[in-house]
Amino acid sequence: MASVSLFIVLFAALLIPLFMARFRITSTPTAVAEIVVGMLLGPSLFNVVNPGGTLSELSDLGVVVLLFLSGMEIDFSLFKRGSGTAKWGPAKLAILGYAGIVGVALLLSYALKLVGLFSHFGFTTIVFITVALGVVIATLKEKELLSKPFGQTMLLLAAFGEVIPLIALTVYAATHGTTHQSVWLLLLIFVAAIVLLLWTRRPFSFFARIDKSTTQLDIRLAFFLIVTLVTIAQSVGAENILGAFLAGMVMKLLRPREETLDKLTSLGYGFFIPIFFIMTGVRINLRTLLADPSSLALIPLLLIGFLAAKLILLPILRLRFKPRNAIAGTWLISTTITLVVPALTVGRNLGILTTQQSGAFTLAAIITCIISPILFNRFYQAEPDDVQPTRVHFVGANLLTVPIAQQLSRGAYDITLYTDDQAKYKTYNSEADVRLIPSFSEGALNEAGAFDADIVMLAYFDHDKNVRVAHWALAAKVPRIIARFEAKNVEDSAYDELAAAGVEMYNSVDANIAMLRSLIETPSTLKMLNDSTAGIYEIVVNNRRFTGLEIKNLPFIDAITVSQIFRDNHFIAPHGDTQLLLGDHLIFSGDKTAVAEIRAALEKQN
């Protein structure tokens, strides 16, 4: 019977995504569909799956892997990343918003206790403040919002909604359980996580050099971290899900390759995690739940609690975002399932939840996962920050920069030229967006906004001017600086200093040599560069939606020809089945009219 149950669950796990794809069910998370199918297979309807034995063990391993992958989703850079000149950055909004959620959840939990429907005040609060990090990330990825201020705010709120309840649940279980171990022992698991991080940082880089297909050292390291921290967590009286989550955070801080993330995600969501969610549904007995009036009354109240706890976000998100997006964000953060289900398992183990009450909590969480993503997609509208083109500023207007600016303006670029020469301003201001600065000084360029750009190109014919502006641009932390240097004085160290600081150099002599060499070696390439409709381009893959995708499956592959990929400081010859990785430089030829759309898709940070 156990093997038959395993077959049924695995067959269901295979059919669910195929069914959802066939009928284009995209607004409902796959995890919710798996729980619903589990309910159909369990005692609620067909009762064909036995929840014990091997399936129970695989389900327990599934929740561990789920929390491990959730830990790997935490983007630590968001906690130190600035938000431009905005008064309300993502970190401020997220901290204020989540503090409000905790406050409202406390009031709602106390109200449930007063009416006598659920007396465990602390446990209810923990469940109400949870957010489904995985669902939020998937939704933001689909809309390509993870790198935008709105997406960063949502991601931080979801991260708080997973980390803080997880730690609170661990403390709650330790103080209300039967182990009687000191809560202070929980600190040992955090110490162990730090030690493992420091110990594995160097070996991990070594693994990357010696790894091969038959060893898969990165995956072995991942499971070593999981088992180690889960074992320590259980030894100090903590929940194993805390150990798994910390293992995921350690793995994330080791900065694994994109292929490692893909392999771990494939292993988790391809096998272990679907079993966990299906078995969660199997354990819900709707017949018993519907026959219990008190548990049945809990469902609408819990649903109201899940949603009402997040309503405080509306006025807080309005401090930065438009009203429709504040509503959309509130709905998205109302999604909760990932941590609720493990929390309910803890509650049942502690004896504070009956099976019927656990089912009521689960059903309320499932309803949020069904309605919240749908309403988010209905309300969300792109913010101005979401559609900004690449800003390129030229310092120096002349016969070289004006034609370049005119051609770049036809693509996904916002071009501005700056000059302190009155005569050149009068000559070129009708040809491009040229701005006159009152004097050649750092203050004048800063005041004019010359360094508020993604790329600054220094194009004075005067070598010394470009050197000075390059230093000013470095001080202003311009992401990319391109500078013209026609002559290199061997006694002048400025060239080498600027090159070491990351300034990209060019000069007409080197450009002419490269052009003539191309004319001899690859005449068709040079003709393509000069052609009015075709050209050679280089685009960096920043959009995670395209990582792991084979070149032959790119949606725009018919419009381009990929010639080289620059990866890890090396050029590789691509084939149709070559997979794209994050940070790849894609060098291709194609029609100029398609380049702007391709660049916008591939270089969008997501």
Q: Quick one: pLDDT at residue 198? A: 83
Q: Quick one: pLDDT at residue 83? A: 43
Q: Quick one: pLDDT at residue 417? A: 93
214 CB-contact burial (10 Å; exposed 0-12 / middle 13-18 / buried 19+): exposed
Amino acid identity of 267? L
Q: Quick one: pLDDT at residue 316? A: 94
Could you identify the residue written with the tokens 């999981």? 226
Looking only at Cα atoms, what is the longest distance across the chain?
90
CB-based contacts of 457: which residues, under 8 Å, 6+ apart?
392, 393, 394, 395, 401, 482, 483
Domains 2-386 and 532-602 agree in fold: no
Are 392 and 451 a contacting pair, CB within 8 Å?
no
Q: Quick one: pLDDT at residue 85? A: 45
CB-based contacts of 15: which residues, under 8 Å, 6+ apart?
none
Amino acid identity of 353? L
87 CB-contact burial (10 Å; exposed 0-12 / middle 13-18 / buried 19+): exposed
Q: Quick one: pLDDT at residue 606? A: 65
Amino acid identity of 281? G
3-state secondary structure 174-225: HHHCCCCCCHHHHHHHHHHHHHHHHHHHHHHHHHHHHCCCCCCHHHHHHHHH
Q: Quick one: pLDDT at residue 86? A: 56
CB-based contacts of 374: which residues, under 8 Å, 6+ apart?
27, 28
| Phi, psi (degrees; rounded to nearest 5) at 69 | -65, -30
Residue 587 CB neighbours (<10 A)? 16
CATH for the 388-506 domain, from 1.10.3210.10, 3.40.50.720, 3.20.110.10, 3.40.630.10: 3.40.50.720
Positive or negative CA dihedral for 269, 270, 272, 277? positive
Q: Which residues of the chain have pLDDT under 50?
A: 81-85, 490
CA–CA separation, 459 and 419 (whole Å): 10
* Fold adopted by 2-386: Na+/H+ antiporter like fold (1.20.1530)
Q: Which residue ranges make up each domain of the chain?
A: 2-386, 388-506, 532-602
| Phi, psi (degrees; rounded to nearest 5) at 427 | -75, -40
User: Tell me: the pLDDT tens digits for 366-391?
Assistant: 888 888 888 888 899 877 655 567 88
Q: Quick one: pLDDT at residue 84? A: 45
CA–CA separation, 551 and 572 (whole Å): 13
* 3-state SS, residue 202: helix
Are 63 and 342 a contacting pair, CB within 8 Å?
yes
Token duo for residue 530 = 């000069």
CA–CA separation, 317 and 453 (whole Å): 27
CB-based contacts of 478: which residues, under 8 Å, 6+ apart?
451, 453, 455, 456
Residue 377 CB neighbours (<10 A)? 16
CB-based contacts of 349: which residues, under 8 Å, 6+ apart?
173
Scanning 254-308, the segments in alpha helix (DSSP H) are: 258-267, 273-282, 286-291, 293-308
Pairing of strands 413-419, 585-591: unpaired
Which one-letter DSSP state was computed for residue 422? H
Crossing angle for the helix pair 90-114 and 293-308, nearest 10 degrees?
Answer: 150
pTM, 2 dp: 0.66
CATH class of 532-602: alpha beta
| Phi, psi (degrees; rounded to nearest 5) at 228 | -60, -50
Q: Quick one: pLDDT at residue 14? A: 94
